[in-house]
Amino acid sequence: MTLLFGTWLVWTLLAAAATAAAPRPAAARVSALMGAAQALGLGAVAVQTMQHGAWRWNLWHLSGWGTLELAASSTGGFFLLVAAIVLAAVFLFSPGYLVRYHGEYDPRPLLAVLHLLLGFIAIILLAGDIVTFLIAWEVMSVLSYFIVLYDQHVRSTPRAAYAMLGASELGFLMVVAAWLMLAGAAHSIDFSTIAAASPGILPGIRWAIFLLSLFGFGTKAGLFPAMSWLPRAHPAAPANASAVLSGAILNLGIYGIVLTNARLLPLPSPSAGLIVLGIGAASAFVGILYAATDTHIKRLLAHSSIENMGLITIALGAALTFDAWHLPVLGLLAWIAAFYQVLNHSVYKTLLFLGAGAIDQAAGDLDMDRLGGLARRLGWTSLFLLAGTMAIAAVPPFAGFASEWLILQSLLRSVAIPNAAVQIAFALVGVVVALAAGLAATAFIRFYGMTFLGHHRSEHAAQAVEVAPGERVALAFLAGLTLLLGVLPTYVAAGLAHVTASLSKSTALAAFVPRFFQPARLPSPLGAAFYPLGAGIGRSVMPAPGLVFMHPSTRLGAGVVFAMSPTYLVLALLMALGAAWALARALGRGRRAVRRRPWLSGARSVDAGLTYTATGLARPIWVVFRAVLSPGQTVDREEVVAEHFRVSIVRDDQARYVVDRLIVDPAAGAARGLARLLAKMHRGSVNAYVGYAFLALLAAMVLVRIT
């Protein structure tokens, strides 16, 4: 494995160098070929790591510190695989997409940075000590800043890039503080040594490390309250960079939380899991509210990423709470749900961000109010993005349904925790998850309908042209993967149970995925009940595990708490659609087709100005949740002619982002006030400076006397 990964690192450097040195017209094709091989090689490393577990590679010995090393784990291997999938699609998509920038920018720096970024992502996920992790993390943050800063002609881009870098550095400082405390308490920088010494760390230090690491890594993941950088950075970056940020970089924050609070230093108490649960619920709620009301496609997707990170964090909070209450089987369910959501989100959000790039390239706009009717011009793109839309809206049989359903079921199983307050907290978070799912469906029905259906609302949309074949291949790859992840969720769960075994302390997958085609292996009442329904059909040809998520009750005898099978649901849907099609054909045979037109008051066609816009469709949500979204000042401005005749009234809603309004602005105001106070001290008289020195000397003498 060390030889394989070392070879891959050399290939990564060669790919970056070859891309930077290639002639400008050929650089994107060179990057695509070498990037595809780079992603494939990393996928091989990831699969081997997930299957065979830990391997170590000593890099450098620091006197007085310890050895810098790579020490792979199955958890890191899973995140490696996700990053490889995301970057493979991005490298395939980039040559056709970056043509739009050829007149303004050289694509070589961006592509070379993407190759290097994948290398440092891999080092982060395989790091075996604190120093290696933090060095790779800082380089990754700087490289992320460069890919956001690519389109510098847009005035908002540098500010958005600085906002992302500033938030990343703030989180980095919190992580450094947490891990310095961890290394000091364990007297080592090695992860395995720290994990072994963690039981002896004092409770107060454990709480400090937990809070600092949660908010430090949560800043990188875009969790509440450090989320306002994310909807600024994603619209400013090119679409391929946005896909990497959302599909791979945000996951590193989740990985950091898992690494610190599940592997190195388990939570100090069950209440810490509830804090994680609450942070996730707040992130999901705020993120999906803004996604459901924004009209810019990339900002909508950025806010949706916040919501999905919130859902993942909710599942992590449930898993950590179950483990703290010594319920490993339920903890396994929540761990599987969290990692399943990580995988699904990376796949469909990469698809949607790349699709947004295709829309921008074809129609020259990302404002849904000025799009519409693109399905007639972008047939393949609209088909692939329909799969991504259904996946992110959690519509079966696509990817998002199974993972969100498992998250909800893990919350409902809180009845097994013997504490009423914890059960109430889980129930409230379950309500947030259900609300977020409903708003997500609304947001992405609006996205697809306002972008691809109906009438075009601008000349650019009317003249859109389908994107290049390479871009369509990347979109098709991701769209097919969303369907595969949704149709065979039990096989995904089987793999994730192996990955999370070291975290959940349980491998009892059969508690949720019984061997459905082998009823003898089910509890006897369940086997007797399901066998007459056809449970034995196919048992000789269908490999284990089964195709049904099922959890039998421990309190109600043979009852079933929950059961779900997207696989059988797909088969049922296909049979129903086939029957409906056959019936329609039979009933319609021999009849004349009737042409139907809507009543339009005598007009020959519907004008685009008479149709709904994305803003109008989102207005009811904005009105209901205005207290959260926009309690800012509303200003009415009148436009007049000849100072007497009013021709229009323009209403401006001056709103501030909720996190900025409640947290960032007050903190910034306090910092500015402190700076002004300190500035006054530096503009005083000489007598004042002498007085300051005298007071400092007096204080020092008093302290010396006391001690």
CB 394, CB 441: distance < 8 Å: yes
Query: For position 556, what pLDDT does the model report?
Result: 44
Q: Quote the tokens at residue 555.
A: 């309190």
Report CA Rg, the chain.
28
Q: Quote the tokens at residue 636.
A: 């009415």
CB atoms within 10 A of CB 435: 15
Per-residue pLDDT tens digits for 46-78? 998 888 777 888 888 777 777 888 888 889 999
Helix or strand or coil: residue 613?
A: coil
Q: How far is CA 254 from CA 178, 471, 549, in A?
A: 16, 29, 25
Nearest to 74 by CA among 143, 9, 126, 23: 126
Query: For position 423, what pLDDT does the model report?
Result: 93
Nearest to 40 by CA among 118, 117, 124, 98: 118
Query: For position 558, what pLDDT does the model report?
Result: 47
Beta-strand runs (E) in 130-230: none
The greatest distance separating any two alpha carbons of the chain, rounded to the nearest whole angstrom, comes to 108
Q: How far is CA 232 from CA 148, 164, 292, 300, in A?
A: 10, 8, 17, 11
Q: 362: part of which helix (H) or strand (E)? A: helix 328-363
CB 305, CB 465: distance < 8 Å: no
Pairing mode, strands 633-641 and 560-564: unpaired
Query: For position 641, what pLDDT does the model report?
Result: 56
Q: 691: part of which helix (H) or strand (E)? A: helix 686-706
Per-residue pLDDT tens digits for 81-113? 999 999 999 999 999 998 888 778 888 999 999
Q: Which amino acid is at 379?
A: G
Quote the pTM value: 0.88
Chain centroid to CA 638: 43
Q: How far is CA 695 from CA 4, 680, 701, 705, 706, in A?
A: 64, 18, 10, 15, 17
Q: Quote the DSSP letter at residue 591.
A: P
Q: Quote the tokens at residue 634.
A: 């509303």
The residue with tokens 């809206």 is 393
Write out the DSSP string of 554-588.
Answer: SSSTT-EEEEE-HHHHHHHHHHHHHHHHHHHHHHH
Query: For position 200, what pLDDT does the model report?
Result: 87
Beta-strand runs (E) in 420-518: none
**Structural domain boundaries in the chain:** 1-216+224-243+252-257, 269-503, 514-535+542-564
Nearest to 280 by CA among 235, 221, 204: 221
Nearest to 623 by CA among 310, 292, 295: 292
Q: Residues 355-381, buried b or exposed e (16+ Cβ, 10 A)?
A: bbbbbbbbbebbbbebbbbbbebbebb
Query: For position 642, what pLDDT does the model report?
Result: 56
| Residues lower than pLDDT 70 in the chain | 514-546, 552-561, 590-610, 627-656, 681-684, 707
CB atoms within 10 A of CB 332: 28
Write out the DSSP string of 234-297.
Answer: HHHS-HHHHHHIIIIIHHHHHHHHHIIIIIIS--SSHHHHHHHHHHHHHHHHHHHHHHHH--BH
Contacts of 524 (CB under 8 A, 6+ apart): none
Give helix 74-97 / helix 250-258 axis angle, nearest 10°.
180
